[in-house]
Every structure is written in structure tokens, then in C-alpha cells.
């Protein structure tokens, strides 16, 4: 599956979160479409960006915050996590640049996904461009994304560098 239409369908299926799979012999479940999307590699990055722009941003206009957005788009966390995991080895700078074009609840949901990908680390383990991204968002005039970024920085024991 490398056709653009098929990849877009797979990204949308990930966003909808309807294909639940069992992870191994455990009681844990995952997003089957996200796993398939991730296996395609870097070619899916622009496809995911387009789905964020065409489906998630319009949905964000109808909600109060990122919690409500994630209820409307049940696979959003999986879509963001897939995007960041695919991008982290060779396209992280470009991914952070894309995230900087976002705002509000969409950006807040992306920041939460960063924490899913990298977890709670010290500043020396969190990729420097992710730290720079979080610090830049946290310096924005107080909004939802800034508050989420500040929280993530504090969880990682990283100080906010003021301009």
C-alpha cells in the first residue's frame, strides 16, 4: 500500500480509532490502522499532516479544549504518536516545524503525544529540538497549548528559558 489515496484512508482510519487490535497475549489494545501506517515509514508524514489540516483542525473549531477534541477524534493520539515515531529518527526537525504552525487544542494534543513518544525524561534525554519546541510554545501568551507545554517541561524537570 503506497498509493496516496490508500495512505490517506489509512490515516483517516487511524484518526477514527475503529480498528482495535489486541497487543500480544495481554489485555492491552492498540490502533491497528496506526500500526499499519507506521510500518510504511516516512512517506506517510505528509499524508498525516494533510489529515491533521483537513480533518482535525476543522473539528477543533467546534470544541472547547483538547480533551473534547480527542473525544471527537478518538484515534488522534494514535495518529500523533505514529507521526512522531516515524519522524523522530530522520525528520524530527521538519515535524517540529509543522507542529509550530498549529495552535490551540490541536497543538495541545500534539504536545501530549510528544510525552507518549518520549515519556518523562531529563533534559539530556529529550531531543534538543523537542525541548526547544516545548519552550517556544510555553513562552506564548497564555493559552491552552502553552499551559500543556509548561506542564510537560515541568514533568521533565526542564526550566523554561525566558527570552
pTM, two decimal places: 0.90
Region of poorest pLDDT, from 8-17, 57-66, 124-133, 140-149: 124-133
For the cut 90, the answer to whether the pLDDT of residue 158 exceeds it is: no
pLDDT at 120: 63
3-state secondary structure of 30: strand
What is the average pLDDT across 28-56? 94
> What gap in Å lies between CA 161 and CA 81, rounded to an integer?
26
The structural domain count of the chain equals 1
| Greater pLDDT, 78 or 31 | 78
What is the average pLDDT across 14-24? 83
For the stretch 45-94, pLDDT in tens is 999 999 999 999 999 999 989 999 999 999 999 999 999 999 999 999 99
| Greater pLDDT, 143 or 83 | 83
> What gap in Å lies between CA 46 and CA 148, rounded to an integer?
25
pLDDT at 162: 62
Question: What percent of the chain lies above the pLDDT cut of 90?
Answer: 69
**Is the CB of residue 104 less than 8 Å from the CB of residue 143?**
yes
Which phi and psi (to 5°) does residue 64 adopt? Answer: -85, -35
Can you give the residue range of the structural domain that contains 120?
4-155
Amino acid at each position: 500500500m503506497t498509493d496516496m489515496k490508500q495512505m490517506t484512508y489509512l490515516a483517516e482510519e487511524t484518526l477514527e480509532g475503529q480498528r482495535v487490535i489486541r497487543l500480544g497475549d495481554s489485555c492491552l489494545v492498540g490502533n491497528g490502522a496506526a500500526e499499519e501506517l507506521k510500518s510504511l515509514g516516512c512517506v506517510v508524514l505528509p499524508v498525516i499532516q494533510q489529515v491533521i489540516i483537513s480533518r482535525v483542525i476543522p473539528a477543533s473549531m467546534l470544541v472547547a479544549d483538547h480533551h473534547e477534541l480527542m473525544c471527537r477524534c478518538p484515534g488522534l493520539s494514535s495518529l500523533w504518536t505514529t507521526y512522531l515515531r516515524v519522524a523522530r529518527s530522520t525528520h524530527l526537525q521538519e515535524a517540529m516545524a509543522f507542529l509550530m504552525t498549529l495552535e490551540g487544542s490541536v497543538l495541545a494534543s500534539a504536545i501530549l503525544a510528544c510525552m507518549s513518544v518520549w515519556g518523562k525524561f531529563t533534559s539530556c534525554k529529550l531531543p534538543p529540538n523537542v525541548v526547544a519546541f516545548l519552550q517556544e510554545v510555553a513562552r506564548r501568551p497564555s493559552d491552552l497549548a502553552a499551559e500543556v507545554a509548561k506542564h510537560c517541561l515541568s514533568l521533565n524537570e526542564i526550566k523554561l528559558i525566558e527570552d
